[in-house]
Chain A
Amino acid sequence: MSEGGWFRRLLHRSRPAALGLRRRILLTITLGAIALSLFLAVTTYGLTQNSLVRQAEDAAVTTSLRNAQGVFRDLRSNPSTAQPAVESLTNIGVTRYLIRYQEEWIGGVTPYVDANLPEQIVERVVDRGIPSRQIVDINGELNVLVGWDVPGVGSYFQFSSLEEQKSTLDSVRIALFFASLISTGLGVLLGIFSARRAVRPLSTAAQAASAIAGGRLDTRLESTADPDLGVLTDSFNDMAEALQLRVERDARFASDVSHELRSPLMTLSASVEVMEARRDDLPERAQSALDLLSSDVVRFQGLVEDLLEISRFDAGAIRLHMEELLVAEFVRQAVAVSAAPKLRLEVSERSEMALIRGDKRRLARVVANLIDNALAYGGGEPHIVISVVEPDDEPMAHITIAVIDDGAGVPVEERDLIFERFARGGGAGRRTGSEGAGLGLSLVDEHLKMHGGRVWVEDRLDGQSGARFVIELMASELTD
Chain B
Amino acid sequence: MVGTRILAVEDDERIRSAVKLALEDEGWTVDEAESGEEAIEKFNRCKPDVVLIDIMLPGIDGFELCRTLRRTSDVPVVMVTARNDTHDVVAGLEAGADDYLTKPFAPKELSARIRALLRRIRPSAPGHARLVFGDLELIPDEGKVLRSGEEVHLTKTEFRLLCELAESPGKVLSREALLDKVWGYDYFGDGRLVDVHIRRLRTKIEADPANPRHVVTVRGLGYRLQT
- The verdict on A360 contacting B187 (CB below 8 Å), with A263-B15, A270-B21 known, is yes
- Bound together, the chains give a CA A364 to CA B12 distance in angstroms of 32
Partner of B188 from the list A270, A274, A304, A337 (CB cut-off 8 Å) is: A337
Which residues 3-62 of B have a CB within 8 angstroms of A? 12, 14-15, 17-19, 21-22, 25
Give the nearest-CB partner of B18 in chain A.
Answer: A270
Q: Please determine whether B192 and A267 come into contact, CB atoms closer than 8 angstroms.
A: no
CB pair B106–A333 under 8 Å, yes or no, is: no
A271 and B186 form a contact (CB under 8 A): no
Bound Cα distance from A360 to B190, whole angstroms: 10
Contact indicator A274/B22 (Cβ below 8 Å): yes
Q: Are A333 and B188 in contact (CB under 8 A)?
A: yes
Q: A259 to B83, alpha carbons, bound, how many Å?
A: 9
Give the nearest-CB partner of B87 in chain A.
Answer: A319
Most B CB contacts (10 A, CB to CB) among A259, A270, A277, A361 go to A270
A319 contacts B22, C-beta separation under 8 Å: no
Which residues of the partner chain A approach B17 to less than 8 Å between Cβ atoms?
Answer: 267
Contact, CB under 8 Å: B103 / A262: yes
Which A326-354 residues sit within 8 Å CB-CB of chain B? 329-330, 333-334, 336-337
B138 to chain A, nearest CB (A): 30
B85 located at the interface, meaning its Cβ lies under 8 Å from any Cβ of chain A in the complex:
yes
Given A319-B86, A321-B192: A263 touches B14 (CB 8 Å cut-off): yes
A264 and B82 CA atoms in complex are apart in Å by: 13
User: 4 nearest interchain CB pairs?
Assistant: A270-B18, A333-B187, A265-B104, A267-B18
- Is A301 part of the contact surface with B, judged by Cβ < 8 Å? yes
Contact with B along A265-299 (1 / 0, CB 8 A): 11111110110010000000000000000000000
> Closest residue to A330 on the B side, CB-wise?
B187
Contact string against A for B residues 68-112, beta-carbon threshold 8 Å, 1 for contact and 0 otherwise: 000000000000001101100000000000000001111110000
Give the distance to chain B from A264, nearest Cβ to Cβ, in Å: 8
Q: Roughly how many angstroms separate A277 CA and B107 CA in the complex, as a whole number?
A: 12
Complex CA distance for A330 and B186, rounded to whole angstroms: 12
**Residue A250 interfacial (CB < 8 Å):** no
Contact count A vs B, C-beta below 8 Å: 75
**A259-B82, A323-B191, A324-B220 as given contacts; A269 in contact with B186, CB under 8 Å:** no
Whether A270 lies near B107 (C-beta < 8 A) is yes
Given contacts A262-B82, A262-B103, A321-B192, contact A273 B14 (CB under 8 A): no
Partner of B21, one of A271, A323, A333, A361: A271
Contact with B along A296-333 (1 / 0, CB 8 A): 00000100100010000000010101011000011001
What is the CB-to-nearest-CB distance from A220 to chain B, in angstroms, rounded to a whole number? 28
Q: Are A270 and B186 in contact (CB under 8 A)?
A: no
Number of interface residues of B (CB under 8 A): 26
Contact A301 B187 (CB under 8 A): no
Please name the residue on chain B nearest to A261 by beta carbon: B104
- A63 to nearest B CB, angstroms? 105
In the complex, the answer to whether A333 meets B86 with C-beta atoms within 8 Å is no
Residues from chain B with Cβ under 8 Å of A337 in the complex: 186-188
Bound Cα distance from A360 to B85, whole angstroms: 15
Task: Kindly state the separation between the CA atoms of A268 and B105 in the bound complex, as whole angstroms.
Answer: 11
Known: A321-B86, A333-B187, A360-B187. 5 other contacts (CB 8 A): A263-B15, A273-B25, A304-B104, A334-B188, A360-B188
Whether the pair B106, A273 counts as a contact (CB closer than 8 A) is yes
A145–B187 Cα gap in the complex (Å)? Answer: 116
Chain A residues, CB < 8 A from B191: 321, 323
Contact for A319 among B21, B82, B85, B108, CB less than 8 A? B85
Given contacts A274-B22, A360-B188, A361-B190, contact A266 B15 (CB under 8 A): yes
Q: Which residues of B contact A334 (CB under 8 A)?
A: 188
Asked if residues A262 and B18 are in contact (CB atoms below 8 Å), the reply is no
Q: Which residues of A have CB within 8 Å of B188?
A: 333-334, 337, 360-361, 364
Give Cα A267–Cα B192 distance, bound, in whole angstroms: 28
Residues of A53-84 at the interface with B, using a CB-CB cut-off of 8 Å, are: none
Interchain CA distance A458-B22 in the complex, whole Å:
45
Assembly CA distance A262 to B82 (angstroms): 9
A319 to B83, CA, bound (A): 12
Q: Is the CB of B107 within 8 A of A269?
A: yes
Residue among B85, B107, B108 making CB contact with A317, cutoff 8 Å: B85
Minimum Cβ distance to chain B for residue A318 (Å): 9
A319 closest partner in B (C-beta): B86
A263 to B190, Cβ gap below 8 A? no
Given contacts A267-B15, A301-B104, contact A274 B187 (CB under 8 A): no
What 1/0 mask marks residues of chain B from 157 to 199 whose CB sits below 8 Å from any chain A CB? 0000000000000000000000000000011101110000000
CB-based contact B85/A270 at 8 Å: no
Rounded to whole angstroms, the CA-CA distance of A262 and B22 in the bound complex is 17
Least CB distance from A320 to B in Å reads 10
Q: Could you tell me the distance between the alpha carbons of A268 and B22 in the complex, rounded to whole angstroms?
A: 11
Residue numbers in B under 8 Å from A271 (CB-CB): 18, 21-22
> Shortest CB–CB separation between residue A437 and chain B, in angstroms?
16
Q: From residue A130, how far is it (CB to closest CB) to chain B in Å?
A: 111
- Tell me how far the C-beta of B83 lies from the nearest C-beta in chain A, rounded to whole angstroms: 8
Closest residue on chain A to residue B106 by CB atoms: A269
Give the CA-CA distance A364 to B189 in the complex, in Å. Answer: 12
CB-CB under 8 A for A333 and B104, given A271-B18, A323-B191: no
Given A274-B21, A324-B220, CB of A266 within 8 Å of CB of B186? no
List, in ascending order, chain B residues with CB within 8 A of A304's CB.
Answer: 104
CA distance A265 to B192 in the complex (A): 26
Of B25, B103, B105, B220, which one neighbours A274 at CB under 8 angstroms? Answer: B25
CB within 8 Å for A263 and B12 given contacts A304-B104, A337-B188, A364-B188 = yes
Q: Which residues in A have their C-beta under 8 angstroms from that of B18? A: 266-268, 270-271, 274
Kindly provide the distance from the CB of A302 to the nearest chain B CB, expressed in whole angstroms. Answer: 10
A308 neighbours in B (Cβ, 8 Å) = 83
Complex Cα distance A319/B89, Å?
13
List residues of chain B with CB within 8 A of the CB of A323: 191
Report the bound CA distance from A329 to B86 in whole Å. 25
In whole angstroms, how far apart are the Cα atoms of A336 and B188 in the complex? 11
Residues of the B chain whose Cβ atoms lie less than 8 Å from the Cβ of A270 = 15, 18-19, 21-22, 107
Contact partners of A266 in chain B: CB under 8 A: 12, 15, 18-19, 103-105
Which residue in chain A gives the minimum CB-CB distance to B221?
A: A324
- Within the complex, the shortest CB–CB distance from A309 to chain B, in Å, comes to 10
Closest Cβ–Cβ distance, residue B128 to chain A (whole Å)? 32
How distant is A270 from chain B, measured CB to nearest CB, in Å?
A: 3
